[in-house]
Amino acid sequence: MSDQPSRTPLPFQSSFEQVPDDEAQTSQELVDTLRSIMQTTYEHRGHSDRSVHAKGHGLLEGEVIVLDNLPPALAQGAFARPGRYPAYLRLSTNPGDILDDKVSTPRGLALKMVGVDGARLPGSEGEQTQDFVMQNAKAFTAATPKDFLKTLKLLAKTTDKAPGSKKVMSAVLRGVEATLEAVGIESGTIKSLGGHPQTHLLGESYSTVVPLLYGSYYAKVAVVPIAPQLTELTDQHLDFEGNPDGLRVAVSDFFQQQGGTWEIRVQLATDLEKMPIEDASVQWPEDLSPYVTVARLEVPMQDTWSDDKVRQIDDGMAFSPWHGLAAHRPLGGVMRTRKPAYTMSANFRSEHNGCPIHEPRSGCPMHAADKES
């Protein structure tokens, strides 16, 4: 990893975003489809889960330490000055229903920094948080909102149906994906449908997969494990031994014994054609702009799943890239069209679970403020 970007970062211009005339319609269809997933799972479970990344595997508290002496292009937004920020993390997998972990799908990491000051995104006024919502990939599985909507409608039809068949299909798809990867091919679609390798969450690297503003520039943000006890888990196969919550147990077992350290890294865009905003499926070339470290994320030894944490974090918090600074506004059609869906999901959960969604305040770990998100 280089300590400096290899090329001059590209200042963001509003013309880099292209909004189709029918984007509002696509956005509404996304909201309707995601609401149908939530309604289906609520009727089945009697509890309202998230419309995607419904199953949590670890609820963590830690601290983000922004590095000293960052160059001007990297000292932007939440990372503009050195500091220490309380943080909450939620590890998850991406389906909207609660599945046996043998249905192996892509993993997610949601990170919430607390006590971040600055001009806010619309809808997050008065808050002090900055959220980064990430997957263990470097690009999105769909290029455009309409492509994403097609996949989502397909998944909605299978929500809460034939869980046993899903385990069988997942095993088949894992074999297909392993065959493809053996010849240097990787399929985000196969992984999303259940073909993700059955590996440890804590060894994964996560990224925003889609771009966001980075002060005067635009970028992708990643969280990468650096502690040896984490990196040795990378690609490590997990045998769940019949436990449908094997990932949750693996995370709990790790943090019962030790803590872990990650780096927060930023990939600044340097070329609009090769690092587009409106095609979310493009993996930005790291030979043009490597990921560069701007902060450390330290998580101490702790209980990663308890009734208190489920109430405070899993049910009581929403993680949204629209909770944050104007300096980190999400970019591109996939992110613009999902904004109303994040709001819908939080409101649906709050209403049906009787548990208001709150944003935490600086200096008040595990306690919520009075402002609803």
pLDDT in tens, 170-202: 443 334 334 434 445 455 554 454 557 889 999
- pLDDT (tens digit, 9 = 90+) per residue, 113-169? 999 999 999 999 999 999 999 999 999 989 999 998 988 887 777 665 444 444 434
Examine the pLDDT at 8 and tell me if it is beyond 50.
yes
Asked, for residue 68, whether it belongs to a domain, the answer is yes
Residue 365 pLDDT grade (very low, low, confident, very high; cuts 50, 70, 90): low
**Residue 164 CB contacts under 8 Å (≥ 6 apart), including other chains:** none
For the chain, the average pLDDT equals 86
| Range(s) of the domain holding residue 217 | 14-138+201-354
Asked, for residue 271, whether it belongs to a domain, the answer is yes
Asked, for residue 248, whether it belongs to a domain, the answer is yes
Angle at Cα 300 formed by Cα 296 and Cα 305, nearest 5°?
A: 120
Asked, for residue 67, whether it belongs to a domain, the answer is yes
Asked, for residue 245, whether it belongs to a domain, the answer is yes
What gap in Å lies between CA 326 and CA 1, rounded to an integer? Answer: 28
Q: What is the CATH number of the domain that holds 64?
A: 2.40.180.10
| Mean pLDDT value of segment 240-262 | 94
Asked, for residue 338, whether it belongs to a domain, the answer is yes
What gap in Å lies between CA 68 and CA 75, rounded to an integer? Answer: 9
Structural domains in the chain (count):
1
Rounded to two decimals, the pTM is 0.87
Asked, for residue 184, whether it belongs to a domain, the answer is no
Examine the pLDDT at 41 and tell me if it is beyond 60.
yes
Asked, for residue 7, whether it belongs to a domain, the answer is no
